[in-house]
């Protein structure tokens, strides 16, 4: 069973701090990794994707990938109350079956003013 694991949280950080969200995956053959943000009652929206080991930065967001450790993380710098949401990690399984993604259950982030 290919799995993606995330701490469900809630993760609570003060405004302006760095929020660190973590994700591990079981399928060593996974090649593509995605982070989605989901506000309460809304659908998930893509915020970052990463394919290569290392860091990828986009504004206040940094995705980090370590394929050897089967670990992907999302850092949010200068956290804002508007970042309060559930963050879903998703990976493509090996075998690439028609583009399916495997999702974690999400980490709920709360940024306190």
Partner 1 sequence: DVKVTQSSRYLVKRTGEKVFLECVQDMDHENMFWYRQDPGLGLRLIYFSYDVKMKEKGDIPEGYSVSREKKERFSLILESASTNQTSMYLCASISRIYGYTFGSGTRLTVV
* Residues in contact with partner 1 by the rule CB under 8 A: 32, 34, 36, 41-46, 49, 88, 90, 98-101, 103-106
Smallest gap from Cβ 113 to partner 1, in A, equals 26
Strand 11-14, strand 107-112: pairing: parallel
* Choice between 76 and 88, CB closer to partner 1: 88
88 in Cβ contact with 44 (< 8 Å) = yes
Q: Taking the complex as a whole, how short is the minimal distance between the CB of residue 100 and partner 1, in angstroms? A: 7
Cβ proximity to partner 1, 25 vs 34, nearer residue = 34
The minimum distance between CB 105 and partner 1, in angstroms, equals 4
Nearer to partner 1, 49 or 71 (CB): 49
Measured between alpha carbons, how far is residue 96 from residues 50, 84, 102 in Å? 16, 32, 11
Structure tokens at 20: 């660190």
The residues, any chain, with a CB within 8 Å of residue 71's CB and separated by 6 or more, are 22, 23, 24, 25, 65
């Amino acid at each position: 069973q290919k799995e993606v694991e995330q701490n469900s949280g809630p993760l609570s950080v003060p405004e302006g701090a760095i929020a660190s969200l973590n994700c591990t995956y079981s399928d060593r053959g996974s090649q593509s990794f995605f982070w989605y943000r989901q506000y309460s009652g809304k659908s998930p929206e893509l915020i970052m994707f990463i394919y290569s080991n290392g860091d990828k930065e986009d504004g206040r967001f940094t995705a980090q990938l370590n394929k050897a450790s089967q670990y992907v993380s999302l850092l949010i710098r200068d956290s804002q109350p508007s970042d309060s949401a559930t963050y879903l990690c998703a990976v493509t399984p090996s075998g690439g079956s028609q583009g399916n993604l495997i999702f974690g259950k999400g980490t709920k982030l709360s940024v306190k003013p």
